[in-house]
Structure 1
Amino acid sequence: MALARVWYGFMTARVTIALAILLLHSSLLALGQPIPPWLLLFCLAYFASALLLRLSTRPSQTESPSAKFWIGTVGIDAVVFSALQLMQLGGINYSPLLGLPVLLAAVLGSRIMALGTAAGMTLLLLLLDTWRIATHQVGDETTLLVQSGLTGMGYFILAFLVNQLAARLVREEQLARRSQMDVRLQTHVNELVIEALTDGVLVVDASGATRAANPAARLLLGTDGGTDRTPLQLGSEPGWRALLALAQKTFGDETAQQADIRVQYPGKSPRRVRVRTRLTVAHEVQAESLCVMFLHDLREMEARLRTEKMAAMGRMSAAVAHEIRNPLAAISQANALLEEDLSDPAQQRLTAMVRQNALRLSKIVDEVLEIARVPQHAIQRSTPMQTQLDEATESICRDWSLHDRARRQVQVTPGTLGLPVDFDPEHLRRVLVNLLDNALRYASNQADAIQVSTHLAANRQSGLQVWSDGPPMEQAVEQHLFEPFFSSESRSSGLGLYICRELCERHRATIGYQRAARMRDGLAVQGNEFFVQFRPPKPPARPAHPEDIQLV
């Protein structure tokens, strides 16, 4: 702080003056001047006290100097300098040194303290001159008294002006400290807001280097979206060239830009991103302009639009499903009665077709009603149901394979070390069976064409992956994977992946798709991978022990 530096400066000046006085009297003694030994001890004691005060005390930022401090500085200086002035050894005038206590009080003390010290040093100087006149040590008494009066007046002026400047310095320092605290607080709030944004925020300079990037932006760019703060270079990755071109266009035209681009990841499907740019205004001549880029995942935007559309459509679908269920039950019952009286193989094939399609319609009705029956946030328990992910995955895959051992061959690799997840076991079964059915539809006939694995991240977050060696999906299919009633198969209801997503969202888990490689026969094979990221489980509450209970 500024006053602390001034304090240390005064204490160092006192040590320097004390050392100079000690060396001066030692030199006079060495030159043969008659100097009493007690005077050298007196100067040595003053030097020791000044050095001790400099090394042992520290300035306080909140409290004013104590009375002991003023006695140890102003009081001792006044006594020492007065004694030296009274001795007048070698014809040396020590009266200018009396200005040091005045400066010290003016800077570190209040206005009353500064003016009081100036008055005290003036009276002391007049008393010393009066003593010298009384002892006939000087010849021109009037000139000496006038000089002392003018010196005292200078002390008062010096004390007032220096105290005003010190008070101004204190006010400016307090204002600067408050401003710095406000700036740090505002910066911290801005960082928290930007890091919590679901939209990505990039700050890019003219060379394409990022000055700042929030976790959402790093996630959209395919890098680590966590605590990594390594600057990114947009020109270093081919998938980021479109962002670099948009930033350069913003700098070149000096206008805001907006565009929908594709960010390509190595070995993964591209992600469509809407980018809006803004150029910062350089208020100073040599200030650098920066491009602020706002990145928004178009899949999330489209998902919100689809959710709003499907909210009304879901209510209508539930009402229609209820109306269809009763006529469908009548059709199924009538077809069963009719099938009992038919013996013609051709007619039996027709009733079989009616039965199969009635079952298909019944399944669709059940799935529609299942979606509409439970609201999205219905699973909000104070104690969420937990499932051992590895054990449940192995059991579900084993039961699923029993239905057709020849075709349903799946390789399971557990990796969560028995850690549970907050997920209903029956809902986990539905999600995994749907993903396995979807993988079976496009996988090859090899033994390890379908692979299921679990893993545990560093933050105790568990994950589930269902991989198959099927061909890559078309872009149009991938964009609508988790939408209801959308399927690339004509005989599919298109509700399987939608139900998976709904069940995951109810448990605050996330589900997604990506192209990923798995090792097979020593080679990396590309395939389709659906992954589920579970939220970390809450630690169990510690039971109360008898010793924890305090009796009142």
Structure 2
Amino acid sequence: MTTPSQWFETAEKASGAWEFEPEFSSFGRLWRVFMTARVATAGVLVVLQAVIHALGNSSNRWPVAVCIAYLCATLAVRLWAQPRPPGRTFDAHWLATIGVDVITFSLLEFLQSGGINYTPLFALPVLLSSILGPILLAFGTAASVTLLLLVDAWWTSLQTPGDFNARFLQAGLSGSGFFLVALLANQLALRLAREEQRAKASQSAARMQTQVNELVIEALTDGVLVVDVNGVVRSANPASRRLLFMRKAIRNAPFMLATESAWQPLADLMHQTFATQSPQEADIRLEFPARSARRLHVRTRLAASQNGTHESLCVMFLEDLREMEARVRTEKMAAMGRMSAAVAHEIRNPLAAISQANALLEEDLQDAGHRQLTALVSQNAQRLAKIVDEVLNISRAQEQAPAPQTTMLMLDDTVAQIATDWASQTGAAQRLGVTLNAAQTSVWFEAEHLRRLMVNLLDNALRYASASAHSMEVATRVMTGGEVRLAVWSDGQPLEATVETHLFEPFFSSESRSSGLGLYICRELCERYGALIGYQRVARHATEGNEFFVIFKPAPQLLGTPRGSFDTMPA
């Protein structure tokens, strides 16, 4: 149980609740209300004194002068003073407000005119000190008012003989009432301040939670849509906008699902969620005009109001099925990589035994036909050994230092030969243009790996290029920093944002029949030789297209005469 001393201590500690409030807070508003009430009271007193003198009930002009001075003082404080809580003692701020009120009402009480009792007016400074100040100041103000009333009763008893006990009793009762008013008003003000602080703390926590939720939703890789019953999208995170809009037509919420015919499956799923009042889950297909369809896995959840005061909202979670399938394929590839590494290690030992036995057998053979057979065995054994090494390198089953920079090639000569061979095999010589501007420049790369790299890039270009002449181009050039650049360009349609993000990941492809390993192998080969592979959308011959480029590390110049450069492929 709380003792009186503990209660007063708690009240004193909480009495500074208004001290650090800004000007336009609850304290500022209460302060302005009290200052306005003081001005109104002063105006009423001036009018009252003027009426008394006009009726001839009093010839004393001092009350009029006191009321006019009080009106000027209250107007000055209301117009120019800034809201500031009074201190714990009778400081200068107290004198400018509460002190002026107490002195003014005391003077009017001593200079009574027309038999008017001004004692009720002391409630204003008591309330002002109780609500806007600490409990000590409130009790101090009530005590000063009580003392003044007692002094007034004593002085009146000296001037006017009579029953002075009644006057002292009236002054004591009024003072007790002022003490009670000070206590109750101060406790109500403290409660209001505490409730306001709790409300502000709750509001700040709610805002912080809202910011955290927005950050989480913004960073989600899955798309999130918040839709009302009318099909209006109230909120959409960046991932959902990438899934629903063209790259150059990204819109912010709100927008209507009915504005795009491709979004009709989403609208149907939303209506089904509201109709059944239960979550829904489905795989849908969005058919965009002049674009490939996009398959999405959609989950809906209903955010319904518990008491029916707010409308229900449908929250839709969108996930690109290609990305889901790519993750599954990546996990499968990791398992296949571990299995491939184990198989490659197992193949190495018998392969070494085969090579050694073949070498021993070749030493004892004299017949040319038999030697030709052993040479064939040796050649294929070396090829198998090379494949085993590549499987181990690509699967990352063993840590391998960067490839030794001992394999160099003349880039233009090798690129020209590979492009010519590929064009003759695919019959695309009329559609392929070659521009070589890196003559007499060598790079660190193996010819067979460069062939595999270019064939993958050219096959991709042929798959998406148009049938017009020069719809594909291979180009080389030396960059400003000395690096050598190889580019394979085609006039295909722009890649979707989700496809571009995962271009070089294993088993990720925009086509269901593709393995999705071509660009991944290209990236692995480039990283092995310290080269960089990338993609960009550029224009060539006034036509925009897709360009895959490789930036090689330059190597010392090779001896020999280069074949030169040419602009177009021979027919």
Do both proteins adopt the same fold according to a TM-score greater than 0.5, normalized to the shorter chain?
yes
1:20: Cα distance to partner? 3.7
Task: Tell me which residue corresponds to 2:220.
Answer: 197
2:144 pairs with 1:120: yes
1:428-452, Cα deviation, whole Å (9 max, x unpaired): 9999846632335434462243489
1:245: Cα distance to partner? 0.8
1:81-125, Cα deviation, whole Å (9 max, x unpaired): 111221123444322211101111221223343233223212212
2:313 pairs with 1:290: yes
Output the amino acid matched with 2:40.
Answer: T
2:162 pairs with 1:162: no
Task: Tell me which residue corresponds to 2:340.
Answer: 317
2:126 pairs with 1:105: no
SS in 1 for 2:310: coil
2:63 pairs with 1:7: no
Structure scoring higher RCO (CA < 8 A, sep ≥ 6) equals 2
1:11-40, Cα deviation, whole Å (9 max, x unpaired): 22123323443455566677887454x766
Output the amino acid matched with 1:287.
Answer: H
1:250: Cα distance to partner? 0.4
2:90 pairs with 1:85: no
Output the amino acid matched with 1:110.
Answer: P
Please give the alpha-carbon distance, in whole angstroms, between the structure 1 residues aligned to 2:26 and 2:452: 66
Task: Tell me which residue corresponds to 1:437.
Answer: 458
Name the CA shift for 1:452/1:59 in 2 (closer, same or farther; >3 Å). Answer: farther
Q: Check whether the contact 1:114–1:159 (CA below 8 A) recurs between aligned residues.
A: yes
SS in 2 for 1:88: coil
1:77: Cα distance to partner? 1.0
Q: Check whether the contact 1:410–1:447 (CA below 8 A) recurs between aligned residues.
A: no
Please give the alpha-carbon distance, in whole angstroms, between the structure 2 residues aligned to 1:83 and 1:471: 93
1:464-515, Cα deviation, whole Å (9 max, x unpaired): 9965346999xxx999996459999x9x9974222246689999x99899xx
1:186: Cα distance to partner? 1.6
Task: Tell me which residue corresponds to 2:155.
Answer: 131
1:58: Cα distance to partner? 3.6
Name the CA shift for 1:305/1:80 in 2 (closer, same or farther; >3 Å). Answer: same
SS in 2 for 1:282: coil
Q: Check whether the contact 2:322–2:508 (CA below 8 A) recurs between aligned residues.
A: no
SS in 1 for 2:299: strand
SS in 1 for 2:255: coil
Output the amino acid matched with 1:260.
Answer: D
Segments of 5+ residues of structure 2 without an aligned counterpart are: 1-24, 403-409, 424-428, 437-443, 477-485, 550-571
Name the CA shift for 1:494/1:243 in 2 (closer, same or farther; >3 Å). Answer: closer
1:353: Cα distance to partner? 11
2:433 pairs with 1:409: yes
Pair member with larger Rg: 2
Please give the alpha-carbon distance, in whole angstroms, between the structure 2 residues aligned to 1:280 and 1:286: 13
Segments of 5+ residues of structure 1 without an aligned counterpart are: 343-347, 380-394, 413-424, 454-463, 533-552
Task: Tell me which residue corresponds to 1:544.
Answer: none
Q: Check whether the contact 1:439–1:467 (CA below 8 A) recurs between aligned residues.
A: no
Task: Tell me which residue corresponds to 1:186.
Answer: 209
Q: Check whether the contact 1:364–1:493 (CA below 8 A) recurs between aligned residues.
A: no
Equivalenced residues, count = 473
Q: Check whether the contact 1:202–1:213 (CA below 8 A) recurs between aligned residues.
A: yes
Q: Check whether the contact 2:504–2:523 (CA below 8 A) recurs between aligned residues.
A: no
Output the amino acid matched with 2:180.
Answer: I
Task: Tell me which residue corresponds to 2:200.
Answer: 177
1:115-167, Cα deviation, whole Å (9 max, x unpaired): 3322321221232233233222x977555444434433332332222222112
Task: Tell me which residue corresponds to 1:499.
Answer: 521
Normalised by the length of structure 2, the TM-score is 0.66
SS in 2 for 1:260: strand
Please give the alpha-carbon distance, in whole angstroms, between the structure 2 residues aligned to 1:352 and 1:235: 71
Name the CA shift for 1:441/1:126 in 2 (closer, same or farther; >3 Å). Answer: same
Q: Check whether the contact 1:199–1:294 (CA below 8 A) recurs between aligned residues.
A: yes
Percent identical among aligned pairs is 47
Please give the alpha-carbon distance, in whole angstroms, between the structure 2 residues aligned to 1:485 and 1:258: 24
1:336-395, Cα deviation, whole Å (9 max, x unpaired): 999x968xxxxx9x999999999987775554333124889999xxxxxxxxxxxxxxx9
